[in-house]
Amino acid sequence: MKLTQKIHNQAQKLLMGLSHTGFFRGGEFSELSGKYFCDCSSYINSLIKLIDPLLYTELLNERERLRACDYFDLAKNKNSSIAYHQSIDKVVVGEILVWKKTNIPKSGDSGHMAIVLSVPEEIAEGRYKLLVSDCSKILHDMDSRVDGGVGSGVLTLLVDAKKCITGYIWSSERAKNKVTDVLCISFSDSKLK
């Protein structure tokens, strides 16, 4: 089974058993207990560690922890275990959307990460909606959460005439178009196996 499918399956299992959640910077979990207090990157970190701990160790490579900006930069590095694309037509369930801020703070948000739970659906020219799972303080459209934490909701991706993802709209409540590089990443199995 491909890692993208494993990530999707773990995320679905986690969401179905979710009992308590909240946004907590850097918080990680080591089992699917129903209680998750993390941020977007520590949510992804925890899932990868559960699925392929050796891959996570390989990606970590002397960092204290991986943040969204690290995943973004690793994807751009041709020698990493992360592949990426930016084509809306190639987005598959289980891939991870990642973007990073232009100016990265030493602590706090460095960007965002979300697991793709549905195939993108065109809703207007240059706009596609899809269901994602992430950990956030701010809710998406049709969100499973009533407050911050792990959950799922609908995110809108912006695309250009060549179907390249050029940004996102977080929710209709925060309807501002955010133009930025959004990568769709997937992982190779650990090279350490």
Residue 190's pLDDT is 56
Domain ranges of the chain: 3-187
* pTM score, whole prediction: 0.95
Q: Which of 182, 187, 147 is nearest to 165 (CA)?
A: 182
Residue 193's pLDDT is 45
Residue 157's pLDDT is 98
Mean pLDDT by 10 residues, the chain (193 residues): 92 98 96 97 97 94 93 93 96 98 85 98 98 97 96 98 97 89 87 47
Residue 28's pLDDT is 96
Widest CA span in the chain: 45
Residue 176's pLDDT is 82
Question: Rounded CA gap, 88 and 185, in Å?
Answer: 12
Residue 105's pLDDT is 81
